[in-house]
Each structure stands twice: as C-alpha cells, then as structure tokens.
C-alpha cells in the first residue's frame, strides 16, 4: 500500500510549529497588497490545474505584477514524500517590490489550500526575507483534489502574522517550502498589510537561497577525488552570468538560470571539518547575503540496491490482474539479468522476488524452457528468491498457519535444489515474535524489513537502519534483521545522479553516526510495478564517474551475506514480540475474519483427525491448497486503494469479492476435509457417536447433538453403558458431557430412549445464572454481566469502571473520539435453559450502529466456565467512521496480563520489543488477567484484536500511539473497525457472531490457559458410527500433557511421521515421546518440514515456548 512516501525532512527550526486551522481565514489586518489565485475553493486558475500533477516540473516562482498564475504558479506543492515529484522538498517563491520603508503595524500572509494529503499532510517552512516559521497541516480528505476534483477537498488556511518591519524597500521574497510530508493543493496566496505599505514593481532578484555540500559523494577526477557543492538559487530575470566565490577557492564564473534551480559544482576533497562562506558576485559586488556551509571528509559508503516489485495484490488492480503483472515482471527481470550479464558484476541486473505467491502460481503454467531459465537465473544470482509467501499480517495467523507461511519456500528448495535463506516483507509494520523461530527452523537466516512510509505505522520507523539478531520466544532461534533506512519505496531514489545525492544527504542527516559503511535500498518503481530497465546502465555510469558511494545491484541474500561477514559479530540480539500495527484493519470485515479463523483451527484439527483415521490416504495437496487460501485472506492487501473513497465502484467490489473468497474457500476446503476424514468410519443414521479429541491432553467437555441426530431419546450412555449427564435444550438439541476422552483419541456414546435423570447445579433466573462455583448477575439496562463470583470468592467485576459497565458490555464509537462511546440499552432477558446441566439466557438489546444485539450466556454444571455468543445485526453507516468494542471490566487488583500469540505468550511491554504496538494487540486464542491469587482467562475464537485498560484504537494515520501499555484489568475486544481510509473496507453490515469463554481461576497457570484456549477454538468432534466401530487413536504418545502437539501427519514421501511439539508453559518441560506398538521408535529432531536433523533420545527437554519438529519412524 503506497499512499505516501516516508518523509526524509530532518531540519529543526527554533520557531514554534503551529497547526493550521481547517477554516477559511480573513485577510485583515490592513488591506490587500497582492493575491495569487482566488480564495474560492477552486484551483483551476493555477498552472497544471485541475489535475495534471504528473507534469510537475519547476517549482513556482511568481513575480508580483509580472507573472501569470495560470502559467507560473503550480496548483500543487509537492512534499518530500512524493516520489512523482522527485521525493524531495519543494519551494514556491514570491518576489515583490515595496516602495519606501515600513516601520509599524502587522502583515498577514494567508495560505489558502483546497486540500492536503490525508495520511502525510505537509509541514511547511515559511520564510519572509530570511525570517522562518514552521507550520503544520492536518490531514486532508483523500486524493480527489490532487487528481482534478477540488470540490472533494477538505479546505483549510494557514495564517501567518508578522511585523511589517520585516518588509524592505525594493525587492522582497517569500518562500513556502514543504519540509516534511506529502502534497498540498493551493487555492490562493494573499498578503495583507498596513495602508502605509505600497507595492512597487519588483526588481530582478538573483540570490542564493541555500548551499550545502553533498555529504559522502566523491567524484572521480584526474587530479583526485572531489566533493560536490549544491547551490539553490532564485532568479526572476533572464539567465545571468555571475561569479561564485567559495572561501579560498579560486573564483569561478557561473550562469544562474531563470526561476528556481539547484546547481552542482565540484571541489577538491577536504581532509578536515571546515565551514565555507559562499557568495554570488556581480561585477565584484555581492548579490544578496553570503551563506555558510559545513564540509567534512567523506565516508566511503557502498549502497546495495535491491530491485523488486511490492506485491500488493488487489490494491491497485484486481487480484488476477495484479498477479499477472508480477509474473510478467518476473520474466522481464530474468531478461534484464541476461541482457546485462556482460556488465561489471556490481552493475548486472538482479530481480528480487518479494513474495513467492507469484512464483507458486507462475510455475503451474510455465513451460519447461521458462522453468529452465528461471532456475538458471536463480542459481547464477540474477534472481533472488525471498522466502515468505505473501506480505502477511502475521499477528492474525494461527500457529500452524504461520508454519504454512514458509511451506512454498521449502517446496522450492526441495524440488529444485535452490538456496532460499533470506526473506523480505514490505508495507506491513510489525511481526509476531515467533516468526523468528519459524523462519530460522525453515532455513531462513536473514530478514529485511521495509515498512510503509508512515501510514498507521506507529513507532515502526524508529527501527530504520537498525540491524540486530531477532530471537524467537524460546531464545533458541534467531534471524538477522536489518530494516531499510527508507521504506520499501524510497522517495527520491531514482536512476539519476541527483537522486543519489539527495538520498545520501538525507541519510547523513538522519544517521550521522551510522556504525556501518553499508547502506541498502529497497528499489521499487511503485506498488505492483515493474523493473527499471535503465538501472544497470545508470549504476555502471555512476561507478565510472563517482568513487563513492559505490553502487551494487544485489539480491537480498547477497547483501545480507556481505553485511553479516563484515558486521555480524558486532550486532546485538533482540528478543520479543514486535506487535503489528496493521492487524487492526482486519476488523473492518468481522464476519469474513471470523470465518477464516475458524477454518484455520478446523484445518489444524483435520490434520490430527486424518492421521488417526486414514493416514495412508492423507491428502497433503488438499491441505496445502487450504492453507494457501487461509494465508491469502490474512495477507495485508485487504482492500483497494479506493476502498473508502469509492466503496461502491466496480473495482472495489470486485477486489473484495476475491479477497473474501479466500476465506470462504478455506472454510469450504476445511469442511470437505472434515467430512472426508470420517467417511471411512461413518455409519449414516446411527444412534452411536464417536467423539474425537484432537488435543494432546485428556478432555472433558460439553457436546451438543442437533434435534435430528438425537431423536432416539434424552439419555446418553458411554461405552460401559453408564448414563452420562445430559439435557434436552430449548432449541431441541441434546447436550451431554463427554468425559475422559484420551489425548488424540476417540470414545463412543450412544443416545438411548428415555428421559434424562441428570442432577446438576446449573440454574437460570430472571437476571442470574449459576453453576457449581459460579454465580452471575446481569444488569437489567445494559445487559452486561454486572457481577461474577466464585463460591466464597472475590467479586470479579469492577463496578467502579465508568467506561465499561461489566462483562460483555457493548460499546460503539462513532467518529473520532474514543471517549464518546455509546452503549446497548433496553435489555430484555429471556431464560432459554434452566438446568440442571446447562443454564442459559438470551439478552436482547438496542445497539447503536446496529439493528439489534442478541447475547446468549451459558453455564454448564461441572465446567466452571462461562460461554458467550454475541450476535450483532450491523447497519452500514458510511461515510461515517466507526468501531464496535466488547468490554470486560475485570476486577483483579495488581493484575498482570498474559496474551496468547502464535507459538508464544506475551506480557505487555515486558515481552515486546521496542517500537511495538501498545494500542491494539492481535490475540491468537486467549488473554489472561491475573494477580498472585486469582484471575480470569478469556478466550475469543472469532475476534483477535484486544485493548487493555481503555479504548485506545487509533485512527488511520495520525493515531495517538502509546509508548507503554495502559494499566488496569479491563480488556476491550475491538470486534469492528472501520476507521481506515484505504486498503480496508469502508463499512460493514449484516449478522455476525462473536464468541467468548471465561474461566475464573486461582493462581495463574499457563498450561491450563493454553489448554482452555485451544479447547474453545478446537472443540470435540462428533461423528455417527456403528456401535461396533473401534475407538480411534493416534500412535503418538507423550508423557506430559503440558506439551502441545500442534501437528502430526504422515511424512509426504512415506517415511515415518512428522510431529510438531510446542512447550506452551512458562517453565521448562521434559517429555518422553513414544509410539503405540513400537518399543523403540527412531526419532530425529529436524527442521520444520521433517528434513535433515539428527537422531535424539525419546526423552526431550523443551525450554519455555520452544517449538520442536520431530520425524518419528515407529
């Protein structure tokens, strides 16, 4: 996603930075002195208007009384973030004359704007005759005004009052320079002042505006290496011959062109730090003021250039078209590598494949000749293959989904004997901590980060140019990370000399003490854009003419190998979760997100189910296809660039239809795999049911059979013929307790005629629920749980929280203020089931932002947990921005929050890296809020986004990002978020259900929390079987239930089993691995895919949060 480019402006000014008010300004005091354009909300009287920004060339220079705004004053002022304008600061200048002197009074300079960039609004340096101020702007409305529709703009003014004494008799100049951010579209520019000010014809002005030595640029010359001096000039007359004097250097004759210009001159390299005085002369007399510029000896940098295309499938084009483009770029990149093979090695073209999605698809239809070319180019270094399948929102991934993220790179390695040891990710800021472990265990050593330039990126750019080893949660795996000093689309870096000089100037200013003399650039020509065919020629030419920086066209892997060899021993190790900033946008499509989460969990269960029931026919290919669809839904390109500004366009609708289909197809395939897994044992209409436990510990849980499947009666018996607790529910279904289901095994239950005689403690009243140790009370207005107690225990609901009125409270925020939440009201409570096994109530309420809200709360005798299902019938409110939150105001004084993330457990701040997101946390399965004596675990199978303490959800680009997490034991699930103005869906409507489960407990037990979270996401599976059907079981056995089995499947090539273990505990575990029927199974500790490794003993020690993959041959 590329809505803006990272600001390389680094100037610091003493004057206060003031925000422009988004209102129209008056031009008083005094009378109008001059005006450029008309303050009428329309820019058509200005040059290039209304929408020809792509032809922007020279900066505006307007001479009052002589210039024509339609020709000389461009309607847009680009900023450093605008690559289409060179990715540099731009300066609009006005020259005017004043007759006589002005001693008193004030002048008012009014800058009227039609609009500004919505994500990176500009900061402007305004200079009046050498006196400067900085003024900032607020975000605009979108790209409409830039592209030719000024009526769509969010109009605002910047007003600067200054002493009239700043004006001088004769020539005066005003400059407006964009020093940070992106573009602004002009409406008009006016100057008003005292009546004593008289505007006179402007004389010819030829002046130096700025002078600086290009840092670390050394040009080759017969006499040695030379440094570059860049002069910024203004000349409102004809080209003028003048003299340039630089301290002790010989005076040289130069020509200053008309308009505003940057001119380069070379001088011998200095060997010490000096400050030069620089002056323009005409006939020996000074022209304007002299400037001073610091010069230092140049460092010898090497810039590694990594050409690639940002894979933003669906952002600029519908997915199929974007994918076709990338496959064309692959072929063009290989052709460029071949055509430049005879150039010097550093100038030979290389093409980096950012993600393997396009390769995976291309290989399906490529000819043998094309594949040969592909392999030859990759093996000879002309094609760099990076390991990640897509630019994933990794915080959304389920554990085995995260593993599948690296599956394609493994297939390519094995099938084609390719080396793939590097990865890059673009656009996305922040990655789940276990990704380091997953990559390292898949053979990836290096990881290039290239986040978006500034849209919703929080503190991500504080990592710019940082390099370190990133350790996984267990501390046993690591990858070398280096975040590019610019984003994946560096502003101003092009295939020309000026861009390299601008880049190095910005680099030196931002990183004056960089510890390394290597720099790397992610070189893209745009989102879903192709290679630059001129790059190799430019690099060859530059390296001939300039000694430094030396340019190298490189693959990611080659660059990292060189970097590690030179600097690896000096790097620190960073451990923790780099919590992502973009996952919150996924809540813009809550229903599809829930579908995808359920599909991923079902698919993980299906692996175990197939391995139990029919391992000889295990469908490896079908599983790979299903994981692919699930991954592509969680990929970062959620919507089109115009998803908010034009949500009803054919393009936006077509893009979302394809995106949503990934989730639907993943769910369809998961369901089909479930049905096919049980075919071998299915008995059709039967009164006997096999209940499967795919977890790696013994389970006891509630099973519900539909009315149609339980017609035989209300009594349920186990295999010993003993009746188990059962109850016919109000909707006609039959509930029973399936107890003592062994790990990765099944047990049978039979429905029998008769009436259940179950005795139990579950009960429901008009505003209460109870079961066993649990007692709940509901608020009759809000419908939230206003009291939750364990028998004889403390109150677990914070009645003093004024924002969240209990547990499962509905909060709706319309617009920009998180503090202005609206609530559900008019609760109507209906008892559904009165016990004794199951008790439940339904709370129907009015819900702002929705047509209705129905919340079902259930307790079960003997389970000591609360199950919640909230169903919201959402209304679309576009173009308003909105969010829905479900709050749980727990009363746990002095609490610590533990958050389940893929293959990890994270405490806010403590287990996060620097610069991580503290506003919104993407949760895998559960959150626990505990102190030393009590707590509550909250599982959320359908929605992943959680806030702590209060609602802190930021708006799209300018959110108030937290530096530390909020205190408190309240948590808020952000179930819907329609604040983003690009990429994510503008609105949502219809029915969607969010489920939660609460488990009050004593002291925090991480193993119990893990098992509870998995149980809520991966319930017991029921299949109709014949009474004689033997119980199923997996051959694998573990001596400890604290260690989770996240995957177990037959090896694809038929040699043994691939088993993945995860120690989800907060302390080390020792587990003995066995196989039923095998006295001494052979066990190898391998990579993620069961390859390589070494034989180990059956007793295995696992550190906390360690992932281990085994190959077991019984």
Mean pLDDT over residues 246-262, rounded? 93
Q: What CA dihedral angle connects 614, 620, 625 and 628, to 10 degrees?
A: 110
What integer is the mean pLDDT of 134-145?
89
For 539-581, how does the pLDDT look when each residue is reduced to its tens digit (9 = 90+)? 999 999 999 999 999 999 999 999 999 999 999 999 999 999 9
Tens digits of residue pLDDT in 700-737: 999 999 999 999 999 999 999 999 999 999 999 999 99
CA dihedral 978, 979, 984, 987 (to 10 degrees): 30
- For residue 916, CA distances in Å to 5, 470, 575, 576 come to 21, 14, 12, 9
For residue 733, give the nearest of 754, 712, 710 by alpha carbon.
710
**Alpha helices (H) in 614-649, listed in sequence order:** 620-633
Q: How many whole angstroms separate alpha carbon 295 and alpha carbon 305?
A: 27
For residues 1021-1041, give the mean pLDDT.
96
- CB atoms under 10 Å from CB of 710, counted, come to 21
* CATH numeric code, 763-1017: 2.70.98.30
Distance CA 229, CA 62 (A): 27
- The answer to whether residue 28 scores a pLDDT higher than 80 is no
Please say whether the dihedral angle defined by the alpha carbons of residues 505, 509, 513 and 515, taken in this order, is positive or negative: negative
Question: What pLDDT does 636 receive?
Answer: 98
pLDDT score recorded for residue 492: 63
> What are the CA-CA distances from residue 550 to residues 467, 517, 1085 (Å)?
21, 10, 44
Q: What is the pLDDT of residues 912-954, one digit of tens each?
A: 999 999 999 999 999 999 999 999 999 999 999 999 999 998 8
Residue 126 has pLDDT above 70, yes or no: yes
Percent of all residues in the chain with a pLDDT value above 90, rounded to a whole number? 88
Are the C-beta atoms of residues 703 and 736 closer than 8 Å to each other? yes
Average confidence (pLDDT) over 129-151: 92
Residue that has been written with the tokens 């403690």 in this structure? 761
Q: Is 161 exposed, middle or buried (0-12, 13-18, 19+ CB in 10 A)?
A: exposed
For residue 230, give the H/E element and its range.
strand 226-235
For position 223, what pLDDT does the model report?
A: 86
One CATH from 1.10.1060.10, 2.60.120.260, 1.10.10.520, 1.10.150.120 for 17-203: 2.60.120.260
Q: What is the mean pLDDT of residues 179-194?
A: 95
For residues 630 and 375, give the distance between their C-alpha atoms in angstroms, rounded to a whole number: 28
Task: For residue 959, name the pLDDT band (cuts at 50, 70, 90).
Answer: low
Domain ranges of the chain: 17-203, 208-295, 302-575, 583-677, 763-1017, 1036-1113
Give the pLDDT confidence of 83-108 residue by residue, as tens digits. Answer: 788 878 899 999 999 998 877 899 99
**Domain 208-295 has what CATH class?**
mainly beta
Non-local CB neighbours of 850 within 8 Å, separated by 6+ positions: 812, 872, 873, 874, 875, 884
Instruction: Fill in the DSSP letter of residue 1015.
Output: H
DSSP reduced 3-state for 360? helix
Looking at the predicted structure, is the pLDDT value of residue 9 above 60? Answer: no
CA angle centred on 872, ends 868 and 873, rounded to 5°: 155
Give residues with Cβ within 8 angstroms of 817, minimum separation 6: none
pLDDT of residue 164: 94
**How far is C-alpha 534 from the chain's CA centre?**
32
Query: What mean pLDDT comes out for the span 172-191?
Result: 96
Percent of the chain with pLDDT over 70: 97
Cβ burial of 621 (10 Å; 0-12, 13-18, 19+) is exposed
The span from the CA of 264 to the CA of 886, in Å, is: 60
Look up tokens 């991966």; give the residue. Answer: 1018
Q: Closest Cα to residue 961, out of 183, 429, 394, 184? A: 429
Listed in order, strand segments (DSSP E) in 402-477 are 422-427, 446-451, 467-471
Average pLDDT over residues 274-297: 94
pLDDT number for residue 958: 54
Q: Is a pLDDT exceeding 50 seen at residue 591?
A: yes
pLDDT in tens, 43-70: 999 999 999 999 999 999 999 999 999 9
Q: Name every residue whose Cβ is closer than 8 Å to that of residue 675 and which is 6 or more positions away in sequence.
A: none
Residue 84, helix vs strand vs coil? helix
Same fold, 208-295 and 1036-1113: yes
Inform me whether the pLDDT recorded for 11 exceeds 60: no
Q: How high is the pLDDT of residue 950? A: 95
- Above 50 in pLDDT, residue 18? no
pLDDT tens for each residue of 600-659: 999 999 999 999 999 999 999 999 999 999 999 999 999 999 999 899 999 999 999 999
Q: What is the mean pLDDT of residues 308-328?
A: 96
Record: fold of 1036-1113: Immunoglobulin-like (2.60.40)
CATH superfamily of 302-575: Glycoside hydrolase 38, N terminal domain (3.20.110.10)
Mean pLDDT in the chain? 94
The whole-number pLDDT of residue 914 equals 98
* Mean pLDDT on 816-827: 94
């Amino acid at each position: 996603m590329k809505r803006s480019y990272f600001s390389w402006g680094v100037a610091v000014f003493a004057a206060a930075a003031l925000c422009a008010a988004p209102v129209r300004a008056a031009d008083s005091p005094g009378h109008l002195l001059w005006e450029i354009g008309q303050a009428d909300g329309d820019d058509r009287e200005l040059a290039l208007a209304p929408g020809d920004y792509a032809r922007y060339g020279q900066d505006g220079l307007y001479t009052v009384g002589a210039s024509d705004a339609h020709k000389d004053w461009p309607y847009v002022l680009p900023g450093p973030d605008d690559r289409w304008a060179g990715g540099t600061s731009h300066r609009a200048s006005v020259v005017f004359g004043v007759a006589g002197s002005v001693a008193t009074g004030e002048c008012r300079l009014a800058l009227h704007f039609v609009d500004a960039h919505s994500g990176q609004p500009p900061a402007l340096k305004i200079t009046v005759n050498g006196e400067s101020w900085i003024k900032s702007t607020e975000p605009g409305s979108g790209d409409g005004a830039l592209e030719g529709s000024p009526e769509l703009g969010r109009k605002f003014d910047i007003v600067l009052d200054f002493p009239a004494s700043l004006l001088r008799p004769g020539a005066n100049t005003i400059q407006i320079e964009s020093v940070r951010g992106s573009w602004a579209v002009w409406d008009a520019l006016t100057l008003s002042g005292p009546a004593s000010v008289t505007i006179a014809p402007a004389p010819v002005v030829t002046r130096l505006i700025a002078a600086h030595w290009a840092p670390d640029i050394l040009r080759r010359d017969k006499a040695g290496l030379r440094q570059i001096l860049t002069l910024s000039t203004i000349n409102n007359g004809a080209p003028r011959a003048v003299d340039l004097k630089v301290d002790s250097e010989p005076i040289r004759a130069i020509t200053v062109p008309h308009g505003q210009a940057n001119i380069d001159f070379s001088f011998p390299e200095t060997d010490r730090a000096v400050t030069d005085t620089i002056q323009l002369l005409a006939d020996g007399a000074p022209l304007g003021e002299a400037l001073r510029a610091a010069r230092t000896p140049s460092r010898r940098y090497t810039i590694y250039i990594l050409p690639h295309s940002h894979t933003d499938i669906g952002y600029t084009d519908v997915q199929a078209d974007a994918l076709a483009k990338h496959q064309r770029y692959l072929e063009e990149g290989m052709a460029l590598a071949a055509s430049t093979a005879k150039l010097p090695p550093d100038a030979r073209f290389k093409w980096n494949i950012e993600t393997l999605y396009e390769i995976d698809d291309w290989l399906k239809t490529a000819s043998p000749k094309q594949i040969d070319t592909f392999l030859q180019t990759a093996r000879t270094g002309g094609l760099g293959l990076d390991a990640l399948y897509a630019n994933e929102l990794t915080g959304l991934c389920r554990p085995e989904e995260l593993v599948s993220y690296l599956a394609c790179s493994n297939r390519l390695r094995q099938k084609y004997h390719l080396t793939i040891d590097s990865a890059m990710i673009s656009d996305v800021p922040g990655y789940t901590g276990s990704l380091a472990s997953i990559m390292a265990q898949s053979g990836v050593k290096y990881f290039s980060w290239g986040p978006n330039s500034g849209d919703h990126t929080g503190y991500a750019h504080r990592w710019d140019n940082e390099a370190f080893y990133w350790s996984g949660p267990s501390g046993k795996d690591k990858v070398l990370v280096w975040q590019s000093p610019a984003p994946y689309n560096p502003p101003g870096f092009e295939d020309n000399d000026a861009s390299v000089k601008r880049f190095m100037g910005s680099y030196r200013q931002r990183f004056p003490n960089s510890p390394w003399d290597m720099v790397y650039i992610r070189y893209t020509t745009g989102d879903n854009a192709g290679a630059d065919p001129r790059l190799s020629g430019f690099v060859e030419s530059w390296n001939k003419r300039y000694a430094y920086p030396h340019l190298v066209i490189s693959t990611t892997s080659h660059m990292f190998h060189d970097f590690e060899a030179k600097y690896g021993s000096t790097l620190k190790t960073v451990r923790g979760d780099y919590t992502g900033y973009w996952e919150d946008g996924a809540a813009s499509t809550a229903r599809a997100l829930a579908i995808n989460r359920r599909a991923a969990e079902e698919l993980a269960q299906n692996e175990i189910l197939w391995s139990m029931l029919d391992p000889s026919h295990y469908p490896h290919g079908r599983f790979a296809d299903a994981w692919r669809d699930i991954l592509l839904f969680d990929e970062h390109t959620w919507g089109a660039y115009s998803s908010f500004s034009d949500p009803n366009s054919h393009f936006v609708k077509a893009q979302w239809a394809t995106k949503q289909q990934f989730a639907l197809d993943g769910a369809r395939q998961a369901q089909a795999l479930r049905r096919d897994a049980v075919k071998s044992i299915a008995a059709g209409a039967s009164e006997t049911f096999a209940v499967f436990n795919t977890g790696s510990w013994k389970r006891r849980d509630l099973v519900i059979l539909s009315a149609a499947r339980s017609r035989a009666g209300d009594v349920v018996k186990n295999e010993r013929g003993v009746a188990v607790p059962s109850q016919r529910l109000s909707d006609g279904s039959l509930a029973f307790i399936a107890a003592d289901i062994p790990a990765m095994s099944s047990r049978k239950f039979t429905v029998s005629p008769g009436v259940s005689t179950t005795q139990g403690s579950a009960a429901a009243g008009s505003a209460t629920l109870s079961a066993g140790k649990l007692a709940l009370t509901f608020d009759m207005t809000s419908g939230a749980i206003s009291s939750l107690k364990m028998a004889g225990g403390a109150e677990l609901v914070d009645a003093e929280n004024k924002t969240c009125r209990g547990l499962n409270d509905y909060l709706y925020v319309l617009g920009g203020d998180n503090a202005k939440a609206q609530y559900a009201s008019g609760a109507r409570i209906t008892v559904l089931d009165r016990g004794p096994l199951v008790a439940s109530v339904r709370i129907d309420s009015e819900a702002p932002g929705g047509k209705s809200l129905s919340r079902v709360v259930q307790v079960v005798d003997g389970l000591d947990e609360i199950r919640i299902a909230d169903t919201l019938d959402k209304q679309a409110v576009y173009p308003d921005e909105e969010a829905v939150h479900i709050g749980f105001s727990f009363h746990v004084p002095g609490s610590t929050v533990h958050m389940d993330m893929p293959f990890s457990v994270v405490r806010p701040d403590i287990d996060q890296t620097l610069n991580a997101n503290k506003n919104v946390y993407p949760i895998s399965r559960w959150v626990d809020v505990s102190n030393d004596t009590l707590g509550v675990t909250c599982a959320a199978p359908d929605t992943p986004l959680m806030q702590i303490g209060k609602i802190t959800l930021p708006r799209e680009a300018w959110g108030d990002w937290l530096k530390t997490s909020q205190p408190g034991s309240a948590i808020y699930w952000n179930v819907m978020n329609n604040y983003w103005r690009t990429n994510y869906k503008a609105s949502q409507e219809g029915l969607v259900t969010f489920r939660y489960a609460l488990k009050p407990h004593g002291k925090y037990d991480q193993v119990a929390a893990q098992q509870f979270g998995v149980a809520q996401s991966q319930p017991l599976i029921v299949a109709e079987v014949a009474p004689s059907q033997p119980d199923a079981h997996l051959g694998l056995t573990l001596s400890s239930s604290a260690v989770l089995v996240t995957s177990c499947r037959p090896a694809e090539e038929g040699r043994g089993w691939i088993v993945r273990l995860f120690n989800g505990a907060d302390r080390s575990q020792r587990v003995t691995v066995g196989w039923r029927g095998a006295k001494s199974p052979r066990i190898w500790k391998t990579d993620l895919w069961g390859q390589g490794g070494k034989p180990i003993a059956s007793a295995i020690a696992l550190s906390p949060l360690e992932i281990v993959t085994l190959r077991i041959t019984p």
